């Protein structure tokens, strides 16, 4: 293990290192071929994948109940059906409405929640669909795209009365070797929004200075020397979209348009010169719209991409640091869940996606997604140790435990431009704390 | 200007020195240190009072080439000795009392210092941040001078390793950081090791040195020689120079990395269809030329060149998955007899509907082939050759230009009859699926030498509802050898080529001498083909 302790040598500290490996190959779409297909194939892949999984879990759940497909349901007979849930929502906006809004230069208004008391769930597999009723399966909790196993029976009215529901559950987690080790920190930050009117460049500069070891006294710098990686989880720039009106841009406009990216590049250069950094695209970044978002192109970062510490990553991003596996997104999946379902806090959404074993169940229904033909890359194969989401309102974190003893640290990373808060994670014990910056010195 | 042994001091003026050694203020020599400090303090004084600039510690460190910690000490000295009349901003950092899980770093002005300190834990640290003539209303103003300086450093030529780029004045050293100070555009993109566990410093390629050498185990090499001295800024340079020999050592393990990468770079045809690869590559050919015998389908992306370079390395790995080595045949070497095996069976069906997102082939390739065909003779051999080359071109033209497809396919189908003996074509033929309008095309050029032909551009809607524009020959010479097309007859959808009926006439005569005519037909067909192709490529484009 090539780690170095931060003992000072001639008064200078060494930065700690951590073994990094990226597992993002499933999120790349270069190999995919677009043949004009739509989304039936990704749904089928998802259903097939998760149904196989659920069938394997059924014997532990209710071994005596007979399993059948939707078409094979008999009235009054208790059985288990496995399929994809579809939530019929009265207030769900139509695509035409959204299209016309997107065409305008002004950004979309942050959408509200589209739930309605009349929403109901329908279970669908490749043989048919059936409306689901009962108190066990709450429409407010579930969203379209989740694959579950339902135990119940068909009623006289042709609905399926649910007695019990089984989700895929948190996947198996590779255990971390328990060793005392040393503290190594990972910094998560998102929503830098460089170029926007709300972002304060001084705050970000303070963050950069703190991470790279300029700020602070010896003690603080020795703590900063233990930071091994910086993850920037989306929305790093805000391009002035008002300039993009379909016409050719004059040189002055072009300059204004590229200013934020250049500023980001300067800051990233400062970070990359001292510490490995991963940057993920977000909803507002110059990257593709549909998930999985492909890594930001390195031509945007002419200076930072010269460093071997600079890495442009896709969204979602799955990687490993030492023996901790981390998975996270820039926020689109959780924001979409928030629009179509209800929970006490964002962490609950996060936990649900983990229990459903799918990072973005609403893709491709309401969340833009690439029409994969033979796989569903958002399926969570093994349980990560850290599961994060960026661009949220506030910093929240929780440690959840799974049935098999899995331990996951859930993190909501707040928008830095609004809150000035970044998140610090200790890889040794998965402890988290906030790192906040204030510049009101008056 | 002060200079002392072992130290270099470039001061005065706001010009940024490009090179410099880090200044250490040794306390062993207090007199010297004092003199130097005095000079800098004077400088700060003038900047703050006269030029009304915000002097932050960072700005100071970069301007006078001192470490950040020393810069802070200097500012502290300044405040102590000449602090009257200047505003000071401090950074206060520590754990908040109110929320012990938050580590807060805050800027605070001198007057408010004690007050804000209450919010923090006892162990908070206070450090000077900046001095300025007066406190600005907008805190971001503090950042401006620093950013302007950073921008200037940023704009320096890429090869220069200045203090912004190597972070030399911070308090933490990271010897694993490598920066490619050479040609910025030439660097291959960061597509480093995906699966092996490496540290953040790995996986970076220095393309200029040799094509595609990522450095997956760079860290390990470095780890064994952590002898970077921290005193001089040359550290980074040394480390960088080390990287070169290190790379060369790592060639072997890198190949495995490369193959992985090569696989990911492979063409968009996830199913490994050879056809799709070919047509994707065909458009890339004009860029990559013959350098990369097999390029992937990322021809249209900016990474094409980079990937092309990588492809050279990965050819062997790519070939395994393909089974077809069509690319080489495209390089104008159509005259050579070559055995080409096409796996048509699946691809035709799969890729029929595939949306071709690649740019269409350059016209020159077609004309090259056309010229070949123009030298047709009734030689079976030649026909075989032509057949093969046509076959190779088939995927090339597998786009919405129905003309080409049909003409190719007709040749293929025709070759079916011709080259029964030829084993090479047999494989192909057996797999040629039902294609549209084969017979129709077959007939079209049965009478190449007739002067009554006329090229006409016809637009029609084919059976799938697609608008098809094709160049057809009008005139009675069009033949439709029904007997020859018995095999394909079923496959021919209702074609609306008006020339077809006229073609029927000739068929009896043509089929009289089966073998010879078949050859003749091939030849004539080819000749017939050649004319419309040869003549009309340019005219077609001109028209457009």
Average pLDDT in the A299-319 region?
A: 92
Of B284, B291, B211, residue with least CA distance to B247: B211
Question: How would you classify residue A430: left for phi > 0, otherwise alpha for psi between -120 and 50, otherwise beta?
Answer: left
| Lowest model confidence (mean pLDDT) among A298-307, B30-39, B84-93, B502-511 | B502-511
| Lowest model confidence (mean pLDDT) among A397-406, A433-442, B477-486 | B477-486
More confident residue, B19 or A162: A162
Q: Is the dihedral of CA B72, A192, A231, A266 positive or negative?
A: negative
| Partner B contacted by A364 (CB < 8 A) | no
Q: Which of A28, A270, A435 has its CB closest to that of B264?
A: A28
Tokens 């939707």 sit on residue: A70
pLDDT in tens, A236-261: 999 888 888 778 888 888 888 888 99
Pairing of strands A277-280, A227-233: parallel
Beta-bridge partner residues of A434: A423, B102
| Partner B contacted by A4 (CB < 8 A) | yes
CA distance B205 to B190: 7
Q: Which of A272, A307, A442 has its CB closest to that of B109?
A: A442
Average pLDDT in the B504-513 region?
A: 40
**For residue A173, pLDDT beyond 90:** yes
More confident residue, B46 or A192: A192
Domain A40-99+112-166 has CATH 3.30.565.10: no
* Structure confidence at residue A103 (pLDDT): 64
Minimal Cα distance from B108: which residue of A? A441
Domain ranges of chain A: 20-31+174-436, 40-99+112-166
pLDDT in tens, A329-353: 999 999 999 999 999 999 999 999 9
Q: Which helix (H) or strand (E) holds B514?
A: helix B514-543
* Structure confidence at residue B221 (pLDDT): 35
Average pLDDT in the B530-542 region?
A: 58
Question: How would you classify residue B218: left for phi > 0, otherwise alpha for psi between -120 and 50, otherwise beta?
Answer: alpha
8 Å CB contact of A217 and B127: yes
| Lowest model confidence (mean pLDDT) among A76-90, B42-56, B208-222 | B208-222
8 Å CB contact of B269 and A33: yes
> Which chain A residues are Cβ-neighbours of B101 within 8 angstroms?
432-434
| Partner B contacted by A33 (CB < 8 A) | yes
* Structure confidence at residue B29 (pLDDT): 56
> Which chain B residues are Cβ-neighbours of A23 within 8 angstroms?
194-195
SS (H, E, C) A57-89: HHHHHCCCCCECCHHHCCECCEEEEEEEEEEEC
8 Å CB contact of B355 and A35: yes
Tokens of A132: 């689901």
Band (pLDDT 50/70/90 cuts) for residue A313 is very high
What fold, for B30-155? Answer: 50s Ribosomal Protein L17; Chain: A, (3.90.1030)
**For residue B20, pLDDT beyond 60:** no
**For residue B263, pLDDT beyond 70:** no
**For residue B316, pLDDT beyond 90:** no
8 Å CB contact of A2 and B199: yes
User: What secondary structure does DSSP assign to B48-113, as a single string?
Assistant: IIIS---EEHHHHHHHHTB-HHHHHHHHHHHHHHH-TT-EEEEEEEEEBSS-TTEEEEEEEEGGGH
- Hey, what long-range contacts does B516-521 have (CB within 8 A, 24 or more apart)? B518/B414, B518/B417, B518/B418, B518/B484, B519/B378, B519/B380, B519/B383, B519/B418, B520/B378, B521/B414, B521/B442, B521/B446, B521/B481, B521/B484
Query: Measured in Å, how far apart are chain B's first and last C-alpha atoms?
Result: 72
Show the DSSP H helices in A114-250 as ranges: 201-212, 218-224
pLDDT in tens, A68-127: 999 988 898 999 999 999 998 887 776 676 677 666 655 555 457 888 888 899 999 889
8 Å CB contact of B269 and A206: no
Length of chain A: 442
Tokens of B442: 């077959």
| Partner B contacted by A1 (CB < 8 A) | no
* Structure confidence at residue A260 (pLDDT): 92
pLDDT in tens, A200-224: 999 999 999 999 988 888 888 888 9
Of A150, A256, A263, A156, residue with least CA distance to A204: A263
Average pLDDT in the B310-327 region?
A: 38
* Structure confidence at residue B361 (pLDDT): 52
Q: How many CB pairs under 8 A join A and B?
A: 271
Query: Could you give the percent of chain B with pLDDT greater than 90?
Result: 1
* Structure confidence at residue A411 (pLDDT): 96
**For residue B113, pLDDT beyond 70:** yes
| Lowest model confidence (mean pLDDT) among A97-111, B2-16, B171-185 | B2-16
Phi, psi of A438 (to 5 degrees): -130, 140
What is the interface pTM, i.e. ipTM, of the complex? 0.85
* Structure confidence at residue A241 (pLDDT): 81
> Which chain A residues are Cβ-neighbours of B198 within 8 angstroms?
19-21
* Structure confidence at residue B483 (pLDDT): 37
Q: Is B337 exposed, middle or buried (0-12, 13-18, 19+ CB in 10 A)?
A: exposed
Tokens 């989306």 sit on residue: A234
* Structure confidence at residue B371 (pLDDT): 44
Band (pLDDT 50/70/90 cuts) for residue B40 is confident
pLDDT in tens, B360-400: 555 444 444 444 444 444 444 444 444 444 444 444 444 44
The helix/strand/coil state of B268 is: coil
pLDDT in tens, B454-463: 777 777 777 7
* Structure confidence at residue B136 (pLDDT): 84
* Structure confidence at residue B376 (pLDDT): 40
**For residue B49, pLDDT beyond 50:** yes
CA distance B522 to B390: 12
Band (pLDDT 50/70/90 cuts) for residue A390 is very high
Q: Is the preceding peptide bond at A364 cis, omega within 30 degrees of 0?
A: yes
* Structure confidence at residue A117 (pLDDT): 87
Q: Which of B173, B200, B353 has its CB closest to that of A35?
A: B353
* Structure confidence at residue A11 (pLDDT): 63
Q: Is A197 exposed, middle or buried (0-12, 13-18, 19+ CB in 10 A)?
A: exposed
The CATH architecture of the domain made up of A20-31+174-436 is 4-Layer Sandwich (3.60)
Q: Which of A10, A15, A432 has its CB closest to that of B174?
A: A15
Band (pLDDT 50/70/90 cuts) for residue A230 is very high
Band (pLDDT 50/70/90 cuts) for residue B358 is low
8 Å CB contact of B107 and A276: no
Neighbour tally for A338: CB within 10 Å = 17
Of B132, B124, B123, B80, residue with least CA distance to B106: B124
Q: Which helix (H) or strand (E) holds B380?
A: helix B380-396
| Lowest model confidence (mean pLDDT) among A140-149, A428-437, B339-348, B508-517 | B508-517
Average pLDDT in the B311-331 region?
A: 39
pLDDT, averaged across chain A: 89
* Structure confidence at residue A296 (pLDDT): 94
* Structure confidence at residue A399 (pLDDT): 95
Band (pLDDT 50/70/90 cuts) for residue B183 is low
Band (pLDDT 50/70/90 cuts) for residue B272 is very low
**For residue B98, pLDDT beyond 60:** yes
* Structure confidence at residue B245 (pLDDT): 41
8 Å CB contact of A435 and B179: no
The top-scoring range by mean pLDDT among A52-66, B131-145, B186-200, B518-532 is A52-66
CA distance A24 to A22: 6
* Structure confidence at residue B352 (pLDDT): 52
**For residue A184, pLDDT beyond 50:** yes
pLDDT, averaged across chain B: 55
Query: Could you give the percent of chain A with pLDDT greater than 90?
Result: 62
* Structure confidence at residue B67 (pLDDT): 86
pLDDT in tens, A257-305: 888 999 999 999 999 999 999 999 999 999 999 999 999 999 999 999 9
CA distance A279 to A312: 5
Neighbour tally for B386: CB within 10 Å = 26
Minimal Cα distance from B350: which residue of A? A35
- Residues in CB range of B224: below 8 A, 6 or more apart: none
Domain ranges of chain B: 30-155
Query: Measured in Å, how far apart are chain A's first and last C-alpha atoms?
Result: 47
The helix/strand/coil state of A14 is: strand
* Structure confidence at residue B398 (pLDDT): 40
């Amino acid at each position: 293990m090539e780690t170095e302790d931060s003992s000072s040598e001639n008064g200078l500290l060494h930065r700690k290192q951590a073994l990094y490996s990226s597992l993002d190959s499933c999120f790349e779409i270069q190999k995919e071929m677009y043949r004009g297909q739509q989304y039936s194939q990704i749904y089928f892949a998802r259903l097939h994948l998760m149904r196989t999984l659920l069938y394997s879990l059924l014997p532990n759940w209710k071994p005596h109940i007979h399993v059948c497909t939707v078409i094979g349901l008999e009235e009054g007979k208790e059985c288990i059906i496995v399929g994809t849930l579809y939530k019929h929502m009265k207030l769900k906006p139509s695509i035409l409405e959204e299209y016309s809004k997107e065409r305008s230069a002004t950004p979309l208004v942050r959408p509200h929640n589209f739930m309605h008391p009349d929403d109901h769930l329908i279970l669908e597999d490749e043989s048919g669909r059936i409306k689901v009723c009962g108190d066990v399966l709450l429409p407010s909790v579930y969203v379209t795209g989740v694959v579950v196993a339902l135990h119940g029976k068909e009623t006289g009215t042709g609905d399926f009365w649910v007695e019990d529901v089984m989700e895929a559950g948190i996947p198996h987690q590779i255990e971390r070797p328990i060793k005392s080790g040393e503290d190594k920190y990972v910094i998560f930050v998102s929503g830098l929004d460089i170029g926007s009117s709300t972002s304060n460049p001084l705050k970000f500069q303070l963050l950069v200075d703190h991470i790279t070891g300029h700020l602070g006294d010896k003690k603080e710098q020795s703590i900063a020397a233990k930071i091994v990686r910086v993850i920037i989880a989306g929305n790093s720039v805000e391009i002035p979209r008002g300039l993009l009106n379909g016409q050719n841009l004059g040189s002055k406009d072009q300059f204004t348009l590229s200013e934020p990216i250049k500023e980001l590049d300067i800051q990233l250069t400062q970070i990359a010169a001292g510490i490995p950094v991963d940057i993920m695209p977000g909803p507002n970044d110059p990257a593709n719209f549909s998930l999985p978002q492909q890594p930001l192109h390195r031509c945007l970062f002419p200076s930072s991409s010269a460093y071997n510490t600079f890495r442009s990553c896709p969204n979602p991003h799955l990687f490993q640091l030492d023996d901790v596996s981390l998975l996270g997104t820039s926020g689109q999946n959780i924001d979409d869940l928030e629009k179509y379902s209800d929970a006490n806090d964002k962490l609950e959404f996060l936990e649900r996606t983990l229990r459903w074993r799918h990072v973005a169940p609403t893709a491709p229904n309401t969340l833009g997604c690439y029409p994969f033909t033979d796989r569903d890359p958002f399926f969570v194969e093994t349980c990560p140790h850290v599961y994060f989401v960026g661009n949220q309102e506030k910093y929240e974190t929780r440690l959840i435990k799974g049935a098999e003893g899995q331990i996951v640290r859930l993190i909501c990373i707040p928008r830095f431009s609004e809150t000035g808060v970044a998140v610090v994670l200790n890889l040794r014990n998965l402890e988290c704390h906030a790192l906040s910056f204030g510049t009101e010195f008056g | 200007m002060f200079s002392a042994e072992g130290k270099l001091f470039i001061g005065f003026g706001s010009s940024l020195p490009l090179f410099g050694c880090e200044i250490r203020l040794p306390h062993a020599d207090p007199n010297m240190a004092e003199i130097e400090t005095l000079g800098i303090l004077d400088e700060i004084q003038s900047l703050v009072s006269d030029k009304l600039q915000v002097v932050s510690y960072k700005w100071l460190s970069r301007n006078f080439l001192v470490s950040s910690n020393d810069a802070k000490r200097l500012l502290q000295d300044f405040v102590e000795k000449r602090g009257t009349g200047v505003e000071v901003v401090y950074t206060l950092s520590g754990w908040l009392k109110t929320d012990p899980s938050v580590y807060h770093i805050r800027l605070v002005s001198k007057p408010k210092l004690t007050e804000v300190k209450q919010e923090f834990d006892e162990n908070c640290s206070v450090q000077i941040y900046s001095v300025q003539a007066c406190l600005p209303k907008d805190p971001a103003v503090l950042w401006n001078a620093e950013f302007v300086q950073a921008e200037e450093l940023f704009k320096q030529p890429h090869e220069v390793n200045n203090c912004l780029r190597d972070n030399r004045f911070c308090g933490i050293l990271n010897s694993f950081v490598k920066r490619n100070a050479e040609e910025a555009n030439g660097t291959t993109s960061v597509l480093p090791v995906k699966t092996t566990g490496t540290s953040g410093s790995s996986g970076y390629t220095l393309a200029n040195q040799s094509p595609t050498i990522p450095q997956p185990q760079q860290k390990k090499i470095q780890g064994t020689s952590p002898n970077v001295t921290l005193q001089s800024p040359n550290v980074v340079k040394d480390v960088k120079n080390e990287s070169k020999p290190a790379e060369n050592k790592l060639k072997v393990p890198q190949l495995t990395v490369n193959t992985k990468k090569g696989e990911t770079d492979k063409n968009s045809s996830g199913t490994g269809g050879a056809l799709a690869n070919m047509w994707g590559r065909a458009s890339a050919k004009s860029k990559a030329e013959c350098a990369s015998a097999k390029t992937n389908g990322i021809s249209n992306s900016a990474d094409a060149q980079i990937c092309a370079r990588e492809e050279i390395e990965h050819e062997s790995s790519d070939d395994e998955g393909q089974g077809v080595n069509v690319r080489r045949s495209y390089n104008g070497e159509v005259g050579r007899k070559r055995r080409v095996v096409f796996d048509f069976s699946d691809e035709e069906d799969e890729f029929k509907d595939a949306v071709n997102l690649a740019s269409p082939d350059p016209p020159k390739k077609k004309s090259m082939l056309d010229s070949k065909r123009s030298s047709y003779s009734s030689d079976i051999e030649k026909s075989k050759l032509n057949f093969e080359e046509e076959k190779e071109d088939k995927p090339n033209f597998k786009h919405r230009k129905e003309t080409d497809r049909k003409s190719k396919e007709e040749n293929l189908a025709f070759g079916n009859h011709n080259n029964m003996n030829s084993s090479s074509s047999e494989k192909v033929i057996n797999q040629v699926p039902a294609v549209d309008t084969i017979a129709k095309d077959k007939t079209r050029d049965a009478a190449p030498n007739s002067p009554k032909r006329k090229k006409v551009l016809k637009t029609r809607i084919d059976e799938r509802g697609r608008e098809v524009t094709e160049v057809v020959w009008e005139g009675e010479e069009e033949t439709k050898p029904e007997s020859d097309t018995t095999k394909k007859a079923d496959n021919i959808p209702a074609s609306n080529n008006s020339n077809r009926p006229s073609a029927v006439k000739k068929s009896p005569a043509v089929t009289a001498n089966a073998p010879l005519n078949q050859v003749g037909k091939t030849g004539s067909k080819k000749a017939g083909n050649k004319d419309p192709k040869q003549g009309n490529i340019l005219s077609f484009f001109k028209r457009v």
